[in-house]
């Protein structure tokens, strides 16, 4: 199936998996739950970011920190949700969220992925808390969205890409990095320029 492009509609049956973060112990496991993105995102402007994997250097150090730092600017441009997906299972994603200091109380709905500074820390905790209130961090193991509607990476991994979905379900931006080591067209600054 060809990747979605600007002008396409977001599909009706997109589901992700997540494991709620109920404590800060990365060795404690919750139960995975289904997240119906097609239903939950109706009437919302969503930035969907795909990364190759949890705990990978490019994601942890270069890709997500600018989203955290610019969450107020994204919200100011009408973004309701920043969602990050990876091929990792939801337990790994949950542990990654915990290692990056995400707690169930910080999130409105869903959590797990890379949302920290390069060393896993946050220099401005209040900005960090505001950021995660608008973030969804999910496992792409239900619909295999990246493979079926986006771009795949090496082997089974997701590609590094970003998409903007408007409130009416229309994709207004969809770009993939030419190299999984780059964060250019999928980064927060590129998204802000498109909004």
Higher-pLDDT residue of 150 and 167 is 167
Average pLDDT, the chain: 76
Assigned token pair, 23: 């404590």
Higher-pLDDT residue of 13 and 141 is 13
Cβ atoms of residues 58 and 111 within 8 Å = no
What whole-number distance in Å separates Cα of residue 153 and Cα of residue 176? 10
Q: In 70-194, which residue ranges form alpha helices assigned H by DSSP?
A: 71-76, 90-99, 125-133, 145-148, 188-194
Q: Which of 14, 49, 51, 59 is catalytic?
A: 59
> Which of 116, 101, 97 lies closest to 18, judged by CA?
97
Q: How confident is the model at residue 136 (pLDDT cuts 50, 70, 90)?
A: low
Assigned token pair, 68: 């955290």
What whole-number distance in Å separates Cα of residue 150 and Cα of residue 55? 21
Three-class DSSP labels, 38-72: HHHCCCCCEEEEECCCCCCHHHHHHHCHHHHHCHH
Domains of the chain by start residue, with CATH: 44-194 (3.40.30.10)
Query: Can 59 be counted among the known catalytic residues?
Result: yes
Residue 92 pLDDT exceeds 80: yes
Residue 43 pLDDT exceeds 90: yes
Higher-pLDDT residue of 136 and 31 is 31
At 110 the pLDDT is: 32
Q: What is the mean pLDDT of residues 150-170?
A: 88
At 100 the pLDDT is: 65
Compute CA distances 84 → 62, 64, 67, 81, 134, whole Å.
Answer: 14, 9, 10, 10, 11
pTM for the whole structure: 0.79
């Amino acid at each position: 199936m060809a990747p979605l492009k600007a002008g396409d509609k977001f599909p009706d049956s997109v589901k992700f998996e997540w494991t709620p973060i109920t404590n800060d112990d990365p060795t404690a496991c919750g139960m995975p739950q289904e997240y119906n993105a097609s239903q939950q995102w109706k009437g919302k402007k969503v930035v969907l970011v795909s990364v190759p994997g949890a705990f990978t250097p490019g994601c942890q150090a270069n890709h997500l920190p600018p989203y955290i730092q610019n969450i107020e600017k994204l919200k100011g441009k009408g973004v309701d949700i920043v969602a990050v997906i990876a091929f990792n299972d939801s337990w790994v994603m949950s542990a990654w969220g915990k290692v990056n200091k995400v707690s169930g109380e910080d999130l409105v709905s869903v959590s797990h992925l890379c949302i920290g500074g390069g060393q896993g820390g946050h220099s401005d905790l209040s900005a960090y808390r505001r950021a995660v209130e608008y973030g969804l961090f999910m496992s792409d193991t239900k619909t295999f969205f990246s493979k079926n509607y986006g771009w795949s990476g090496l082997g089974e991994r997701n590609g590094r890409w970003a998409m903007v979905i408007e409130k009416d379900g229309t994709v207004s931006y969809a770009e993939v990095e030419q190299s999984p080591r780059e964060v250019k067209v999928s980064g927060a600054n590129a998204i802000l320029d498109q909004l």
